[in-house]
Amino acid sequence: MTQTPPARADAVIVGGGHNALVAATYLARAGRDVVVLERLPHVGGAAISAQTFEGLDARLSRYSYLVSLMPQQLIDELGLRLELRSRDTASYTPYGDSGLLVETTEGPATRDSFRALTGSDDDLDAWRRFYAEVADLAGVVAPTLLEPLPHIGNLRDLSDMAVWTDVVDEPLGAAIERRFSHDLVRGVVGTDALIGTFASLHDPSLVQNRCFLYHLIGNGTGEWRVPVGGMGAVTGELERVAREAGATIVTGASVTSVTASDDGVVVAGDGFSVDADVVLSGVAPYVLAGLMGRPAPPKPSGSQFKVNLLVSRLPRLRSGVDPAIAFAGTFHLGESMSELETAWRQASDGELPDRAAGELYCHTLTDRSILGPELAASDAQTLTYFGLHTPYEVLPDAAAAQRAYRQVVDALEEHLAEPFEPLVLGVEHKTPAQIEAALGMPGGHIFHGDLQWPWLEEDERPRSAAARWGVETSHPRVLMCGSGARRGGAVSGIAGHNAAHAVLEGGLVSRTT
């Protein structure tokens, strides 16, 4: 441990991820004694930067890599000195010798690309209508994320019923197939429903719809922006404001038990014990149950295959599209709707899909500050690959991970005018099992479990401040503040904000200021 935790605190936060730092800041600014306990030698959880390749001066966003859902209100309230840059390219999807280019702000290139792919303006017109309706829905939901949970009826009454039905009531795949005709366009729309979520687009559970909603509502726009300096810059700012507020942050502190009673909570670990009025959990509900000695919920299973790459330059494309345009946004591989559904079925049968389905993104086209001077002066670029439908169970070992990586290279080289691997300076794989081992996320699930709707259902009547804010657990003195909270998931800080406000509203800390 970097230091010994105090024997007493108003609030103890278990886990030092980005949400924990947000909660610590709000509570400390409200005059509470706050202790954050993190088992790793650093804070940040999945929102970190690391010099991934020995001898190569590049600090990659090792796990999380873009920012969308973090509300500007939260950034302003915390006083974070962050620069989040927009990208001109939203996505590029190669297709044969051509591809579909979607600009962040639609211009002639987007219109020409849709026409060349589909032969008409029909899917482009459908695209415009659908995303305009989704933006209206985002404008209704996004302002509620830093407030107590709204009631579903209130949001539904403010929304267009057509898009509410498509996104909330029925499997998203049905809406995609009804609205769009081209298989590739359908897949590009559907990918936002599958990032970190293992499901068919037609899954009756609607878990894919919930994932889609979260990926499209950030700040009412859904735009995914590049954090200058990488994800470590985000964590660095959150750690700064937490410490300046007076929070005590202890790293190298593994918590082994959380014992809650009517009067308080005892958090114990190797060589320490802290008495507190309330505990906030930044770890997954599955992990928290074990710490509390409670029956655990089903263990989550992550479904992503992350690959971090450093290349000497971007590869040339068969389509002739400028790589600096194609790789600046989301570069889709094997993500037509039919390919996505096939990959899901094969993985559901316990097999690694025959073809890679995922997406690449180049951070350094937007922000070269993560490269050292020598690399920054060269043509070197970073590439991040996020693979879909590669669950924990189908990537059990290093050999399976190597096969999955080979598939990624094969899928990419189908669209290149040159071999890819001669350009690679460094490569790192992160399977769900490796993420679990490194970060303590059960099953390597990046959301700590399936995402939940960000509202109260028809029959829900919350009886506590924690329930009103969507952060309750099985004990009133233990609250969720991480991705396992009602509005957790992604790098947003929302769960940390809401847990801190539930503590203050509920009077869970006996001392007052």
Place of tokens 């090792």: 62
User: Would you state the pLDDT for residue 228?
Assistant: 98
Q: Distances from the Cα of 38 to the Cαs of 52, 82, 227, 281, 430, in angstroms?
A: 22, 24, 24, 11, 22
Residue type, 71: P
- One DSSP character per residue, 102-118 reads EESS--HHHHHHHHHHH
Q: Are 90 and 224 in contact (CB under 8 A)?
A: no
Cα atoms found within 13 Å of the Cα of residue 144, Cβ hemisphere only: 24
Q: Are 22 and 497 in contact (CB under 8 A)?
A: yes
Backbone angles phi, psi at 298, to 5 degrees: -55, 140
Backbone angles phi, psi at 55, to 5 degrees: 80, 0
> Which are the contacts of 332, defined by CB distance < 8 A and separation ≥ 6?
91, 92, 93, 94, 187, 188, 191, 359
What the block records as the tokens of 299 is 């263990």
Nearest to 48 by CA among 88, 75, 21: 21
- Burial status of residue 293 (CB atoms within 10 A of its CB: 0-12, 13-18, 19 or more): exposed
Q: Would you give per-residue pLDDT tens digits along the chain (513 residues)?
A: 778 999 999 999 999 999 999 999 999 999 999 999 999 999 999 999 999 999 999 999 999 999 999 999 999 999 999 999 999 999 999 998 899 999 999 999 999 999 999 999 999 999 999 999 999 999 999 999 999 999 999 999 999 999 999 999 999 999 999 999 999 999 999 999 999 999 999 999 999 999 999 999 999 998 999 999 999 999 999 999 999 999 999 999 999 999 999 999 999 999 999 999 999 999 999 999 999 999 999 999 999 999 999 999 999 999 999 999 999 999 999 999 999 999 999 999 999 999 999 999 999 999 999 999 999 999 999 999 999 999 999 999 999 999 999 999 999 999 999 999 999 999 999 999 999 999 999 999 999 999 999 999 999 999 999 999 999 999 999 999 999 999 999 999 999 999 999 999 999 887 644
**Global pTM exceeds 0.85:** yes
Nearest to 408 by CA among 433, 434, 427: 427
Residue type, 102: V
User: Would you state the pLDDT for residue 511?
Assistant: 60
- How many angstroms separate the CA atoms of 288 and 442, rounded? 11
User: Would you state the pLDDT for residue 96?
Assistant: 86
User: Would you state the pLDDT for residue 180?
Assistant: 98
- One DSSP character per residue, 14-48 reads ES-BHHHHHHHHHHHHTT--EEEEESSSSSBTTS-
User: Would you state the pLDDT for residue 512?
Assistant: 45
